[in-house]
Amino acid sequence: MKELEKCKLCPRNCSINRYQELGFCGASAQIKVADYRLHQWEEPVLSGSRGSGTVFFSHCNLKCIFCQNHEISISNQGVILNEEQLAFIFLELQKEGAHNINLVTPTHYVPQIASVLRKIKNKKLFIPVVYNTSSYENVSTIQMMEGLVDVYLADLKYFDDDLAKKYSHCKDYFHFASLAIDEMFSQVGSIQLKGDLMIKGVIVRVLVLPGHVDDAKKIISYLFQTYGNHIFISIMNQYTPIKHIQEFPQLNHTLTDNEYAEVVNYSYDLGVRCAFIQEGDCALQSFIPDFDLHKVELLLDQNSWDS
């Protein structure tokens, strides 16, 4: 694929040939998947009663220091698949009863994913496709998914680029993320529900980091001023400190109840009504997936595939 011969899928713009070498994200030209499952812990409009059909892709172009999925985003665990195998996973999740196909960290595999979806969407695959991203994307990459994605599930991690540089190794996060989210909204438009499930639209996640309430408020203010209640804002309190975060004392503890309440109350006073909030202690080990690769490896063992 020509997009992989001089890769500029994300704002890192490594411009390397992924058939021959690796860039910042660590992904080659081959698709690598760590796990797939029915996931009950997404927003209720995605998980529903049976779960979101989540596919966890290996590698990441952001590599946040506090990433819960660091085994696959930084340590790069995973199993290499071809397009036929990826299509099988999508259809298998649909058969298992998934409400949607949820592509987690797909940026660096967009050309391959788009190729798969063009072959099966609305032909064999009839459930919505969710694009679950850090939002550190080039607009041109999001444009490759037009007509293939129904719901964009996008992070907006930082308003202050000093924080982005400190915690995610990029100095231009908000600029690119805000442009990417604008392209997402232009493709799918306002929220559309079928019963209790989302079939079209944008959800933007705001993970409130301990000690950084003001940045979360700025993000939410920007989103509401830009999109009003035409998108869902998911205000998350599940930040979980991981063991190698000790050198950042401000992040080496969970969010306090008062910090989270301050952000939620601010959002309500601002006029935000289309929002998800988390109640109770969500910063638990159970929210961190166990990527043992068993299910993907078993799938490969039980089936014959073209190489």
Across 14-18, 199-203, 283-287, 297-301, least confident range: 283-287
pLDDT > 50? residue 304? no
Each residue's pLDDT tens digit, 131-170:
999 999 999 999 999 999 999 999 999 999 999 999 999 9
CATH homologous superfamily of domain 2-297? Answer: Aldolase class I (3.20.20.70)
Q: What are the domain boundaries of the chain?
A: 2-297
In this predicted structure, what is the pLDDT of residue 291? 39
In this predicted structure, what is the pLDDT of residue 87? 98
Can you tell me the distance from the alpha carbon of 186 to that of 180, in angstroms, rounded to the nearest whole number?
10
List the beta strands (DSSP E) in 188-231: 192-194, 197-207
Q: What's the pLDDT band for 307 if we cut at 50, 70, 90?
A: very low
User: What values do phi and psi take at 198, rounded to 5?
Assistant: -85, 130
In Å, what is the CA distance from 173 to each residue of 11, 80, 177, 178, 248?
Answer: 9, 29, 6, 8, 20
In this prediction, what percent of the chain has a pLDDT beyond 90?
82
DSSP for 106-153 reads -GGGHHHHHHHHHHHBTTTB-S-EEEEE-S---HHHHHTTTTT-SEEE
In this prediction, what percent of the chain has a pLDDT beyond 70?
89
Each residue's pLDDT tens digit, 229-270:
999 999 999 998 887 777 888 898 999 999 999 999 999 999
Contact (CB, 8 A) for 159 and 135: no
Bridge partners, residue 101, by sequence: 53, 129
In this predicted structure, what is the pLDDT of residue 77? 86
In this predicted structure, what is the pLDDT of residue 246? 76
Q: Round the average pLDDT of the chain to a whole number and report it.
A: 91
Contact (CB, 8 A) for 42 and 90: no
Which two structure tokens, joined as six digits, stand for 262? 């301050």
Residues 6 or more apart whose CB falls under 8 angstroms from that of 19 comprise 4, 5, 28, 29
In Å, what is the CA distance from 143 to each residue of 66, 107, 173, 238, 297?
Answer: 29, 12, 19, 31, 32
In this predicted structure, what is the pLDDT of residue 2? 96
In this predicted structure, what is the pLDDT of residue 302? 54
* Of the candidates 194, 238, 189, 233, the residue with the CA atom closest to the CA atom of residue 67: 238
In this predicted structure, what is the pLDDT of residue 281? 57
> Which residue in the block uniquely carries the two structure tokens 């939002």?
135
In this predicted structure, what is the pLDDT of residue 297? 57
Across 70-74, 155-159, 303-307, least confident range: 303-307
Bridge partners, residue 275, by sequence: 233
pLDDT > 50? residue 13? yes
Q: Higher-confidence residue: 190 or 250? A: 190
Q: Half-sphere exposure of residue 188, counting CA atoms within 13 Å on the CB side?
A: 33
Each residue's pLDDT tens digit, 97-143:
999 999 999 999 999 999 999 999 999 999 999 999 999 999 999 99
The mean pLDDT value for 174-198 works out to 98
In this predicted structure, what is the pLDDT of residue 306? 40
Q: Which helix (H) or strand (E) holds 87?
A: helix 83-96
Q: For residue 65, what is the DSSP state?
A: T
Q: Which helix (H) or strand (E) holds 236?
A: strand 232-236
In Å, what is the CA distance from 265 to each residue of 212, 216, 262, 269, 285?
Answer: 16, 12, 5, 6, 27
Task: Put residue 132 in one of left, alpha, beta given phi > 0 → left and psi -120 to 50 → alpha.
Answer: beta
